[in-house]
Structure 1
Amino acid sequence: MATETTPSPIAAAALAAARRSFESLLGAQNVFFTEEDQASYQDKFAVRDEGHHPAGAVAPATVEEIQGIVRIARENKVPLWPISRGKNLGYGGSAPVLAGSVILDLSRMQKIEYDEENGTVLLEPGVSFYDLYDFLKSKGMKHWLSVPGNSWGSVVGNALDRGVGYTPYGEHTSRICGMEVVMPDAMVVRTGMGALSNSPTWQLYRYGFGPCWDQLFVQSNFGIVTKMGLWLMPEPESLMGMDLEFDKPEDLGPLIDAIAPLRREGLLQQSPTIGNWLRAAAVVTTRDQWTDKPGALSDDVIAAIRKKFNVGWWGVSLRLYGRESVNKAAYAILEEAMNRLKPMSVVPTTWKRGEPLEATGWTGTPLTFPMQNANWHGGRGGHIGFSPVLPQSGSAAMAQFRRTYDRYKEYGMDYQASFAFGERHLINVNAILLDKDDPEMMQRVDPFIRTLIADAKAQGYGEYRTHLDYMDAVEATYDFNGHALRRLNEQVKNALDPDGILAPGKSGIWPGRYAKERAA
């Protein structure tokens, strides 16, 4: 990939001409090309600080301004990197794949349209989870959000990157219903029922007539999403559940095998996440309080941390939502299944409509405290993720855990991981906690991640999302029939965007114009 240590493929004269046109269109106050501006859009959690530097940024407020920006970019052959709010921390933040790109910052676009009767919203990309929560609260909180661990981010952006949350609506991408998109030729398209002028069912029926295009714009560089319809969860009558801790690493497999059938049959509708002890501890303590020794934490230190905070090797929170009578019946089944596993602790929780609402992700309350794990090592902290998709199998998860945990030890990293349930799959989310002020550690990170990617590929597993640095490496693992998916993506990209303007390199999709920038 192009970095600041290699020549930028974007001509300086073309960039200067585009900047003048951007200022004429948006006003100088919404065009950002100083060194300070460039630094503000760089990836704060980057493994390599010299990579992915943008040339500058532009911040439109309307669809018409976006169309104008796209026309200017095409005229000058200047690539754009659209962001919603730029808070995709651990995956690249607001930085582009291709150095020298201009950030298309959509954070000024913050309109919300709410259909209270049907429980839908139509959002612009600048709406954060906090914004939408405050809006729904002002309307009486008749519907709940699903939020990720970093609620600073955009609701639209998170759904477009297949982000996940904690409630039954936690698979955010699956709740998309209708989009408005500016295409690479500046044409505005509405998908699904939105293709009918003034359609009252745009946010109610996903598919429309003919091909359904919404998912084409998820994790792609085929268009700029300017509006997105999403379904919200109606406020339930009650909530019941339990927080459980399990003592041993080998408890993971039986726990997955116990939860998986309940998830598949629909008794458990949320997307529970089984997390290890560090996932809990890293937000309430720092490493230097326990040891000054380099390398992965010893078993003795792990035992001391677990004892201090009374956490298991693994923990999971299970929740039931809906009618109280139904929840009570389901809870009895859930309780029996969990008690058979002999957890080290079980803490029940209940809530009924009208009672004060627990301020957690399980109730759709925005949160950012999980980001505190970036301070685990001190210094300029950060994290980067490795998240392959697995079958819902206890034996497969245990093998993945052992394989990955051994790699953490081999590379001297502290193991933070979780196993998140979908309806039929698991995502093994591994966080690599960084200290950017430790050069020796940072030298280990890249080979570590590439080894994890190769290990997963050997099992037939691939990641569902990844950091900018590894988009080409992950895309390369999807290799069926001589990388047929890559060839299809590139055919679509070159047909829709022959000038290669929109987000070259996103998800490993390179237009012909920048094909040589693909990492080996």
Structure 2
Amino acid sequence: MVSKRAQGPDPARIRQARAAFQAALGADNVFFGEEDAAAYNDKFAVDDTLHHPSGAIAPGSAQEVQAALRIASEVGIPLWPISRGKNLGYGGSAPVLAGSVILDLSRMKKIEYDEENGTVLLEPGVGFYDLYDFLKARGMKHWLSTPGNSWGSVVGNALDRGVGYTPYGENTSKICGMEVALADGSLVRTGMGALEGSPTWQLYRYGFGPAWDQLFVQSNFGVVTKMGLWLMPEPESLMGMDVEFDNPEDLGPLIDTLAPLRREGLLQQSPTIGNWLRAAAVLTTRSEWTDQPGALSDEVISAIRTKYRVGWWGVSLRLYGREEVNKAAYPILEKAMNDLKPLSMHPAQWKRGEPLENSGWTGTPISFPMQNANWHGGRGGHIGFSPVLPQSGTAAMAQFKRTYDRYREYGMDYQASFAFGERHLINVNAVLLDKDDPEMMGRVDPFLRQLVADAKAQGYGEYRTHLDYMDLVASTYDFNDNALLKLNERVKNALDPAGVIAPGKSGIWPGAKGGTCA
């Protein structure tokens, strides 16, 4: 849970900071009422009380962010930056350190678009729906790569290494240039943006000397006020298939078939293999099938699958680009899937000029996957557990069996997927919650800690995690006595020794001398 090294700010400092924020940002953009603070709680947390903020402020520009940081440094209070606060399952808008003030950047919504080169320069408040509507109004010459919850921020998603489903699915890899406010209120631009008036800021990632973009990803070293991003050119055509597989054991051969196609570039997208509950949880609720406690029986699983005609595993595969190239590649992909003897296979096709399918495969914003929060009824939610694996069917099957057994041991219903990168897999597991069931909620924390321990025993670490487990997950990266965490702390202490920005983010706390806004 929250590190014992940190303490929240005292009420006197909060009052002092509130008055200063009102003077700098305007009273309408400063929120310290009880209901205001509650609006920023993590609705999916196991224990809400661990992450209550003191209030929130909403700057409207980089200059106001700078002013807010200077005030926070002078008064000695921590700020927790959020873009739109929709990182559901990982903490939402809540801070690691209770009592922090939320730095809500959702008012900052400017978009600069370079149509010729296919890039955008975005402020953090721009959501996926915002950017989609912006591009659609200009002819949709470029596509997004949207996550399952498209309510969120494009900048925030890339900064937390979120993924989508198109060839540009690994959003953090498409970052090109940032503007960042540091804890002392200074402003820096990375890459080619360090040259005043440079026309290549969103074209060349690295600039001269050390490249800093990724150092501001999942870190608390600064507040990103602008971010460049590469967009995917609208393809001439799209071809592919939706494939269902009948048995849990089909996972390994499927991964071993797709992995070489992904590595050689025939399959350029980021496909995700999802289990039956990932599909069914947005179509039905648990109470329609059983009132028995504990993990679902095989009989109930079979009945749900039969009604909705879903496999134990399913995957959607798409080819993007020139129609002639896709027509040549499609038979190769089709044969590879048929050789695995799937339960079903349905072709999909699109050509430029036709209406877009409303799915992540076409970069269309979606939010229906969040319906899974209602699986148990009551005050639903979920928490993610997402270790990184090699692209190996054997490794994936072992991870699946190990994790599935833990779900059953702890009486949880198994929802999971295996998402492809170019060389890795991310095993995204959702722990579906009913916050009105105290007995269930009592099992969640020990269950998640056990999953982290199981992964560590295999040499697997999570690529992102919930607020409650940031210290724990950081500790699993333990080479040479946690040398990486020590390096992160040294950078933190150099840039933000008082811990003004997001103390505890990714397990990174300010040093003892600076304290947390001591």
Settle same-fold status: TM greater than 0.5.
Answer: yes
Corresponding letter in the other structure for 1:307: T
Encode CA deviations 1:424-447: one digit per residue, 9 max, x unaligned: 000000000000000000000000
Q: Following the alignment from structure 1 to structure 2, what is the Cα–Cα distance between the partners of residues 18 and 480? A: 40
Q: Which residue of 2 aligns with 1:508?
A: 507
* Structure 1, gaps ≥5 residues long: none
What letter corresponds to residue 434 of structure 2 in structure 1?
D
Counterparts of 1:311-460 in structure 2, within 5 Å, are 311-460=310-459
Give the Å deviation of 1:28. Answer: 1.0
Q: Return closer, same or farther for 1:101/1:405 CA change in 2, 3 Å cut-off.
A: same
**Corresponding position of 1:169:** 168
CA contact (8 A) 2:498 2:514 kept: no
Q: Tell me if the contact between 2:190 and 2:211 (Cα under 8 Å) persists in the aligned partners.
A: yes
The change in CA–CA distance for 1:6 and 1:490 in structure 2 (over 3 A counts) is: closer
What does 1:227-306 correspond to in 2, within 5 Å? Answer: 227-306=226-305
Distance 2:199 2:78 in 1: 36
CA distance in 2, matches of 1:8, 1:516: 9
Query: Counterpart of 2:88?
Result: 89
CA distance in 2, matches of 1:515, 1:453: 30
Query: Equivalent residue for 2:138?
Result: 139
- 2:497–2:515: 8 Å Cα contact kept in structure 1? no
Alignment length, in residue pairs?
516
Q: Distance in 1 between matches of 2:350 and 2:514?
A: 55
Distance 1:9 1:50 in 2: 13
Contact 1:145 1:364 in 2 (8 A): yes
Instruction: Tell me which residue corresponds to 2:484.
Output: 485
Q: How do 1:11-26 residues align onto structure 2 when only pairs under 5 Å count? A: 11-26=10-25
Secondary structure in 1 aligned to 2:183?
A: coil
- The aligned runs of 1:76-155 (5 Å cut-off) are 76-155=75-154
Amino acid at match of 1:40: A
Cα gap change, 1:247/1:515 in structure 2, threshold over 3 Å: closer, same or farther?
farther
String of CA shifts for 1:51-72, please: whole Å, max 9, x gaps: 1110000000011111110110
Are 1:206 and 2:205 an aligned pair? yes
Q: Separation in 1 of the partners of 2:249 and 2:62? A: 53
Change (3 A) 1:514 1:134: farther
Distance in 2 (CA, whole Å) between partners of 1:297 and 1:213 is 47
Q: Which residue of 1 aligns with 2:73?
A: 74
Q: What is the TM-score normalised by the length of structure 2?
A: 0.98
Say which SS state the counterpart of residue 151 (structure 2) adopts: coil
Does the aligned pair in 1 maintain the 2:498–2:515 contact within 8 Å? no
Distance 2:515 2:436 in 1: 32
- CA–CA distance in structure 1, aligned partners of residues 460 and 181 of structure 2: 34
- Comparing 350-359 with 284-293, greater Cα deviation is found at 350-359
CA contact 1:504–1:514 (8 Å) conserved in 2:
no
Aligned to 1:470: 469
Cα deviation 1:347-390 (Å, max 9, x = unaligned) = 00111111111111100000000000000000000000000000
Paired letter, 1:298: S
What SS class does the counterpart of residue 50 from structure 2 fall into? coil
Identity %: 79
Q: CA deviation at 1:9?
A: 3.1
- CA-CA distance at 1:516 after TM superposition: 8.3
The CA distance in 1 between the partners of 2:479 and 2:395, in whole Å, is 22
CA distance in 1, matches of 2:386, 2:515: 27
Once residues 113 and 261 of structure 1 are traced to their aligned partners in structure 2, the CA distance between those partners, rounded to angstroms, is 38
Task: Indicate conservation of the 8 Å contact 2:278/2:415, yes or no.
Answer: yes
8 Å CA contact retained: 2:2, 2:468: no
Residues 209-233 of structure 1: CA distance to partner in whole angstroms, max 9, x if unpaired? 1110000000000000000000000
Whether contact under 8 Å (1:2, 1:8) holds in the other structure is: no
Moved over 6 A (4+): 514-517
Deviations 1:136-161 (A, max 9, x none): 00000000000000000000000000
Residue 38 of structure 1 aligns to a residue whose secondary structure is: helix
The answer (yes or no) to whether the contact 1:180–1:227 under 8 Å persists in 2 is: yes
Q: Confirm or deny: 8 A CA contact 1:67 1:187 kept in the other structure.
A: yes
Q: Which residue identity is paired with 1:355? A: E
Q: Structure 1 residues 484, 6: closer, same or farther in 2, change over 3 A?
A: closer
Equivalent pair of 1:241/1:317 in contact (CA under 8 Å): yes
Structure 2: distance between partners of 1:291 and 1:240: 39
TM superposition shift of 1:15:
1.4
CA distance in 2, matches of 1:437, 1:24: 42
- 3-state SS of the aligned residue for 2:155? helix
Relative to structure 1, the CA distance from residue 6 to residue 454 in structure 2 (aligned partners, 3 Å threshold; closer, same or farther) is closer
Alignment partners' CA distance in 2, 1:465 and 1:7: 21
CA distance in 2, matches of 1:90, 1:516: 28
Cα distance in 2 for residues equivalent to 1:6 and 1:212:
31
Contact 2:41 2:51 in 1 (8 A): yes
TM-score by length of 1: 0.98
SS where residue 9 of structure 2 aligns?
coil
Paired residues of 1:312 and 1:344 also in contact (CA < 8 A): yes
Residue 317 of structure 1 deviates from its aligned partner by 0.2
RMSD of equivalent CA atoms: 1.4
